[in-house]
Amino acid sequence: MIVAEEKDTLREKLKELFGYTTFRGNQEVVIKNILEGKNTFVIMPTGAGKSLCYQLPAMIKDGLAIVISPLIALMKNQVDQLNAYGINARFLNSTLSKSEITRLKKDCINGEVKLLYVAPESLNKEEYIEFLTKANVSFVAIDEAHCISEWGHDFRPEYRKIKTMIAQLGNMPVIALTATATPKVQIDIQKNLQMENADIFVSSFNRKNLYYEVRPKKETKKQLIKFLKEHKGKSGIIYCLSRKKVEEIAQLLNVNGFSAVPYHAGLDPDVRVKNQDGFLNEEIDIVVATIAFGMGIDKPDVRFVIHYDVPKSLEGYYQETGRAGRDGLEGICLMFYSHNDLSKLEKFNKDKPVQERENARILLQEMEYYAESPICRRKQLLHYFGEEFKVENCGACDNCVHPRERFDGTESVKLVLEAVQQTNERFGLNHLVNVISGTEDEYIKSYGHEKLPIYGKGADENADFWKSVIRQTLIYQYLEKDIDSIGVLKIKEKGIKFLKKPEPIELARDHDYTSDGDEEESPDRVPLNSKAYDVKLFEMLKALRKQIAKEKKLPPYVIFQDPSLEEMATTYPTSKEELASVNGVGMGKVQKFGKSFLDLIKDYVEENEIETAADVVVKSSVNKSKIKIFIIQQVDRKVDLEEIAESKGISFEDLLSEIENICYSGTKLNLDYYIDEMLDEDKQDQIFDYFLNSETDNLEEALQDETMEDFSEEEIRLMRIKFLSEYAN
């Protein structure tokens, strides 16, 4: 009972302060942990919502929460966002004047400030520490905590002094948050902060709304312009390897009429700041940048991230693509790939010490595998981070949307596993390929491997084929990489079972990026979400948002984010209360920015004679229509149906009824992402055929039909929805 109550109050707080109705992923458990005063370590991918994990407890707890964040340039931005919600957050860094600092100190000591953003270098100053000891500090949150570790990709020496400073303030709970932490980095962070006892919350790294695609780097400029034309007016980032390339592409885009600016470390600092702000404020659509751009940029509505050149590592690629679609809406990740780029990157490394060069080479090889592999991109990325993605077809990557040709790989997998076994699980990929294909070299001879029964058994296929097969057996969990010796492959449980009793397995051929012709069809049609909202009104709301943002000198998304505007363009709120109930709005924002939005919607509704939420109340309760919109949005975002039901606190049955109502009233819902996981194609066809040939869509009758006896009621209902969506609507 108490638990349920507590849950409700947390949700109420969430709605009241931030306007959101539900927590995402681990947010709620993390927040509870922090509220209990425990040290907490949060690992969550970019865009998952780390900030809220400390912002909400900061508001609930007595006193002042300190947030350590590495980039001074972006602190103002985060504080602006909080202020827009009516939260008293401030920042302390070297850009403040003396009098501003004096005032800030006073407000902190008086207990007026709830969140204080601090740069780590400021914490070394005696005078700051001194006044903070006088303030009632509730906890310290360390954002981008991977900066602590030398093994991470963003090491900052000042971060290593944080613990000493916290100790000076007296002991208090510490929350560390980061989006990347390989196990090594994770241990490093905990040691340095002396929080080995912390509760660790690791979230899945799957970014469901991102679409991944790799294209051959041919006629790249043409392809790029074509893509950008199809996405005109949207925000995006284009990453290039060199400053020179950045300048060149930015210019190309300008000549072609796009609003784009360059960004790299060679530009004057004020030009850099101007270009970055232009992007955040929606005056500029596209930033063409080296990887110097991006960390800490939390612009939620970046709609695409393009890698014009091949990135140096999969980790970097994941981070950079992660900047797309943080608001949960569309995010397209496109990479142009060529062997030539890889060779260039290899050359960069040639003067490095041996070990470093070897490490860099391994990272590049992973990149190569990723790009050329026929396996689901998502599965590969998650595999790289040690996570198994079990869904067969993710529906949102080029390899799943346009599957490569498949072949029966049972025999090939068997040969690979035998090769590993017969060489006693002591060798890496290249050696195994030589053994299978019968390619004699000095290693083969020195180990006498040419005498093994497996030697040359796969001579009728080339080395690339065998490399591809081995990589697929790795991702499908038949083999694994040895932890202690780099590159060595071992057989997993699943592989041993397979050798005892081989089950048929399908493999696919790699992409071939070497040939010159144009035969590699580039799937340039990214599946677009069908829009469930009023596009015209949405555009008008966006324009208004931009205008207000300009007046208030704030980035537009600080006012309202895209998902909120989409909801407004679906529900047409015309009163303050209705507006406040829109997800992501809340009363604070209604008071601050609501009026002109309400006016616009009222005019629009009148002109177009639209039935508004207020009119609908007469027919059904507001709650009901809200739940429908929620469902439509969640389904658009491919959220698991169980999750949707749970977050609304209704049963699966009731959810199905709601969905049926939605469909019967004429809205198309695409549930393929869910159905495909539950029923294979044949079974789907079987039910589909039934409805095609049946006189009625009556459920009772379907259940009685003898051709349907293998199916559950749920399955039949889901297929009926699919049928209705495809045929009736």
48 binds, among ligand ADP, Zn ion, Mg ion, none (CB under 5 to 8 A by kind): ligand ADP
Interacting residues with ligand ADP between 599 and 618 (CB under 6 A): none
Spatial distance between the Cα atoms of 693 and 185, rounded to a whole number of angstroms:
59
Spatial distance between the Cα atoms of 85 and 373, rounded to a whole number of angstroms:
45
What contacts 136, CB < 8 A, 6 or more positions away?
62, 63, 64, 111
- The 15-54 site mask, x for binding Mg ion (CB under 5 A), equals -----------------------------------x----
| Most distant pair of Cα atoms in the chain: their distance | 85
What contacts 533, CB < 8 A, 6 or more positions away?
566, 567, 569, 570
List contacts with Zn ion (CB under 5 A).
376, 378, 394, 397, 400
Spatial distance between the Cα atoms of 200 and 368, rounded to a whole number of angstroms:
33
Confirm if 601 and 560 have CB atoms less than 8 A apart. no
Q: Least distance (Å) from Mg ion to the CB of residue 82?
A: 13
Q: Least distance (Å) from Zn ion to the CB of residue 382?
A: 10
Distance of CA 596 to the CA centre of its chain: 33
Q: Least distance (Å) from ligand ADP to the CB of residue 584?
A: 6
Which residues, listed in sequence order, are joined to residue 331 by a DSSP beta bridge? 210
Spatial distance between the Cα atoms of 360 and 346, rounded to a whole number of angstroms:
8
Spatial distance between the Cα atoms of 405 and 292, rounded to a whole number of angstroms:
39
378 binds, among Mg ion, Zn ion, ligand ADP, none (CB under 5 to 8 A by kind): Zn ion
Spatial distance between the Cα atoms of 434 and 430, rounded to a whole number of angstroms:
6
Spatial distance between the Cα atoms of 212 and 526, rounded to a whole number of angstroms:
10
Interacting residues with ligand ADP between 19 and 38 (CB under 6 A): 20, 23-24, 27
When asked if residue 327 is in the footprint of ligand ADP (CB under 6 A), the reply is yes
Angle at which helices 535-552 and 595-608 pack, to 10 degrees? 150
Residue 126: count of CB within 10 angstroms of its CB: 7
* Closest CB to ligand ADP among residues 50, 105: 50
Which residues in 59-80 are b (16+ Cβ under 10 Å) and which e? bebebbbbbbbbbbbbbebbbb
376 binds, among Zn ion, ligand ADP, Mg ion, none (CB under 5 to 8 A by kind): Zn ion
* Closest CB to ligand ADP among residues 45, 409: 45
Q: Which of 186, 276, 473, 561 is in the footprint of ligand ADP by CB under 6 A? A: 561
Confirm if 457 and 518 have CB atoms less than 8 A apart. no
- Tell me the number of residues near Mg ion by CB under 5 A: 1
Q: Is 220 exposed, middle or buried (0-12, 13-18, 19+ CB in 10 A)?
A: middle
209 binds, among ligand ADP, Mg ion, Zn ion, none (CB under 5 to 8 A by kind): none
Q: Least distance (Å) from Mg ion to the CB of residue 142?
A: 12
Q: Least distance (Å) from ligand ADP to the CB of residue 11?
A: 10
Q: Least distance (Å) from Zn ion to the CB of residue 392?
A: 9
* Closest CB to Zn ion among residues 237, 400: 400
| Closest among 408, 375, 404 to 389, alpha carbons compared | 375
When asked if residue 50 is in the footprint of ligand ADP (CB under 6 A), the reply is yes
Which residues, listed in sequence order, are joined to residue 90 by a DSSP beta bridge? 116
* DSSP output for 425-437: T---HHHHHHHHH
204 binds, among Zn ion, ligand ADP, Mg ion, none (CB under 5 to 8 A by kind): none
Q: Which of 207, 326, 378, 722 is in the footprint of ligand ADP by CB under 6 A? A: 326
Spatial distance between the Cα atoms of 670 and 684, rounded to a whole number of angstroms:
14
| Closest among 21, 31, 26, 57 to 43, alpha carbons compared | 26
Structure tokens at 417: 């596993």
* Closest CB to ligand ADP among residues 24, 602: 24
46 binds, among ligand ADP, Zn ion, Mg ion, none (CB under 5 to 8 A by kind): ligand ADP
397 binds, among ligand ADP, Zn ion, Mg ion, none (CB under 5 to 8 A by kind): Zn ion
* Closest CB to ligand ADP among residues 47, 311: 47
Residue 678 is given by DSSP the state H
Distances (CA, A) of 543 to 280, 538, 548: 15, 9, 9
Q: Least distance (Å) from Zn ion to the CB of residue 208?
A: 11
490 binds, among Mg ion, Zn ion, ligand ADP, none (CB under 5 to 8 A by kind): none
- The 654-673 site mask, x for binding ligand ADP (CB under 6 A), equals --------------------
573 binds, among Zn ion, ligand ADP, Mg ion, none (CB under 5 to 8 A by kind): none
Distance of CA 16 to the CA centre of its chain: 26
Interacting residues with ligand ADP between 51 and 70 (CB under 6 A): 51-52
Interacting residues with Mg ion between 49 and 78 (CB under 5 A): 50
When asked if residue 300 is in the footprint of ligand ADP (CB under 6 A), the reply is yes
Window of 48-56, 402-410, 686-694, 696-704 that interacts with ligand ADP by CB under 6 A: 48-56
- Tell me the number of residues near ligand ADP by CB under 6 A: 17
Q: Least distance (Å) from Zn ion to the CB of residue 677?
A: 13
Q: Least distance (Å) from Mg ion to the CB of residue 522?
A: 34
Q: Which alpha helices (DSSP H) does 258-308 contain, by range?
A: 269-280
24 binds, among Zn ion, ligand ADP, Mg ion, none (CB under 5 to 8 A by kind): ligand ADP
Q: Least distance (Å) from Zn ion to the CB of residue 606?
A: 46
* Closest CB to ligand ADP among residues 235, 725: 235
- The 72-111 site mask, x for binding ligand ADP (CB under 6 A), equals ----------------------------------------
* Closest CB to ligand ADP among residues 77, 684: 77
When asked if residue 189 is in the footprint of ligand ADP (CB under 6 A), the reply is no
* Closest CB to ligand ADP among residues 173, 555: 555
| Closest among 297, 356, 307 to 336, alpha carbons compared | 307
Tokens 């049972």 belong to residue: 410
Specify the 3-state DSSP secondary structure of 178: strand
44 binds, among Mg ion, Zn ion, ligand ADP, none (CB under 5 to 8 A by kind): ligand ADP
Q: Least distance (Å) from ligand ADP to the CB of residue 67?
A: 11
Q: Least distance (Å) from Zn ion to the CB of residue 673?
A: 11
Q: How many CA within 13 A on the CB side of residue 541?
A: 30
Q: Least distance (Å) from ligand ADP to the CB of residue 88?
A: 18
| Closest among 494, 499, 498 to 475, alpha carbons compared | 494
Specify the 3-state DSSP secondary structure of 722: helix
* Closest CB to Zn ion among residues 378, 717: 378
* Closest CB to ligand ADP among residues 23, 369: 23
Angle at which helices 314-321 and 377-384 pack, to 10 degrees? 120
List contacts with ligand ADP (CB under 6 A). Answer: 20, 23-24, 27, 44, 46-52, 298, 300, 326-327, 561
List contacts with Mg ion (CB under 5 A). Answer: 50
